Amino acid sequence: MDQESKYLHAKERIAEIRKFYKGLMSYIVIISLLAGLNYYIDEWNYPWFLWAAFGWGIALAFQAARAFVINPFFGRDWEERKIKEFMQKEDQKARWE
């Protein structure tokens, strides 16, 4: 991998991390506002804001996994390994033909 492609890869990762942190800040602010509104309306007799927190939290967890490359099964390394594996298989087929 040359320097330019390393730089572009690092820049993409930083953009993903920045996007995650912006989403996290939005999550904290909006869920806090919803919790305050929920308390104001019915003093948490029914904490409906948790539904929004749970749903958005799942989406945020997937975004974090992507930003911090937590997915070991299908990450970029996996893709590169599979590409090399398929290229080697094609080379072996070409030798036998």
43: in domain: yes
Burial class (CB in 10 A: 0-12, 13-18, 19+), 49: buried
Distance CA 78, CA 1 (A): 16
Residue 39 inside a domain? The answer is: yes
In the predicted structure, residue 28 carries a pLDDT above the cut 80: yes
In this predicted model, which residue has the larger pLDDT, 9 or 73? 9
Cα–Cα distance between 7 and 9 in angstroms, integer?
5
In a domain, 40, yes or no: yes
Mean residue pLDDT of the chain comes to 87
Q: Is residue 35's pLDDT more than 90?
A: yes
What percent of the chain shows pLDDT beyond 70?
89
pTM > 0.85? no
| Residue at 25 is within a domain | yes
The residue among 75 and 40 whose pLDDT is bigger is 40
- 3 state DSSP class of 1: coil
Number of structural domains in the chain: 1
| Residue ranges making up the domain that contains 59 | 3-70
Question: What is the band of 20 on the pLDDT scale with cuts at 50, 70, 90?
Answer: very high
Please report, rounded to a whole number, the percentage of residues in the chain having pLDDT higher than 90. Answer: 53
Residue 48 lies in a domain: yes
- Check residue 41 and give its pLDDT: 96
